[in-house]
Chain A
């Protein structure tokens, strides 16, 4: 059974710093992995989708990598801003769609 873990559960960093969020999964036979952000009381906003054949995807200040063999993905955020404060979730897709519990990120002005 696929399990998805996100560490840390919460993170506070000063504005301007680069940071890395982690997502690990137990079964490497996945179709893709998707990163989302969720603002309080809102739905999920898709950030990046990495297909199983890809190693990374980039969008603006965000870069997501995927290492299927080790069951890991990272989301790199460059030059963090207060507007980046949100919960970041990863979701792994095999025959099911399994989400992690998320990392609550707080960027300190």
Chain B
């Protein structure tokens, strides 16, 4: 069974540029999560989807961040415009059900904003 797939693995951009990250969850997983992880810290939840619906986006900085999950499968996280402080690892995870199930993580996208 394929795991959670993320691309790109690394991205370097200049500040004020847009950037997008893509995630393909494990087949059949209805719940998808986007996290941000800074060096030496645990992941922080940005947004959680149940199928196509964003059920928790309270931590998503909506002035510059947006996300979508069309058809309840793949998801894209976008930043526009990027700021220096956005440099971090962006992790995607999925689980079969909303609360009770194990989360499976992708390898992450390391973003560097210059």
- Could you list which residues of chain A lie within 8 angstroms of chain B, going by C-beta atoms? 4, 31-32, 34, 36, 41-46, 49, 51, 89, 91, 93, 96-97, 99-102
Task: Check B106–A43 contact: CB distance below 8 A.
Answer: yes
19 new A-B contacts, CB < 8 A, other than A43-B91, A91-B43, A100-B42, are: A4-B42, A31-B100, A34-B102, A42-B107, A42-B108, A44-B43, A44-B93, A44-B103, A44-B105, A45-B105, A49-B101, A51-B100, A89-B42, A91-B42, A96-B45, A97-B45, A97-B48, A99-B44, A102-B42
CA distance A55 to B51 in the complex (A): 31
Taking residues whose C-beta sits less than 8 angstroms from the other chain, chain B's interface range is 20 to 34
- Within 8 Å CB of B110, what residues of A? 41
Q: With both chains docked as a complex, state the minimum distance between the C-beta of B21 and any C-beta of chain A, in angstroms.
A: 13
CA distance A34 to B101 in the complex (A): 10
CA distance A102 to B106 in the complex (A): 18
- The listed residue with most B CB atoms (<10 A of its CB), out of A31, A89, A97, A100, is A97
Task: Check A97–B102 contact: CB distance below 8 A.
Answer: no
Identity of the chain A residue whose Cβ is nearest the Cβ of B104 in the assembled complex: A46
- Within 8 Å CB of A44, what residues of B? 43, 91, 93, 103, 105
CA distance A96 to B107 in the complex (A): 22
CA distance A102 to B39 in the complex (A): 11
B22 at interface by CB-CB < 8 Å: no
* 12 interchain pairs, CB-CB under 8 A: A31-B99, A31-B100, A32-B99, A32-B100, A42-B107, A44-B105, A89-B42, A89-B43, A91-B43, A91-B103, A100-B42, A101-B40
Task: Check B33–A97 contact: CB distance below 8 A.
Answer: yes
